[in-house]
Amino acid sequence: MSLTKQVVIDQITVNENGIVLYREATRIMEDGNELSKTYHRSSLTPGQDLTGIPANVAAICNVAWTAEVIAAYQAQLQANKPAGE
């Protein structure tokens, strides 16, 4: 009987405003059979620091986050700020 833990990024999605969503699946396996699976979801906003982000997710961010996408996201944030801030 051999227990192993597998952690994989099983979903990456880019929203129309450039936000990248990804899901990490953690699987506990016994002799090749899955005993349990849990998920952890994370999101990244255009221009965010990618230090410590899984390489495959960072690669998608680097393609999706053009200068135009980052500028549009920042403009959207400014437009949605309450008056007086």
Residue 10 confidence (pLDDT) above 70: yes
Cα(44)–Cα(18) distance, rounded to whole angstroms?
Answer: 9
- Between 36 and 1, the more confident residue is 36
Tell me: the pLDDT tens digits for 26-44? 999 999 899 999 999 999 9
pTM of the predicted structure, to 2 decimals: 0.85
pLDDT at residue 84, rounded to an integer: 67
pLDDT at residue 82, rounded to an integer: 82
Residue 46 confidence (pLDDT) above 90: yes
Sign of CA dihedral 48, 17, 11, 40: positive
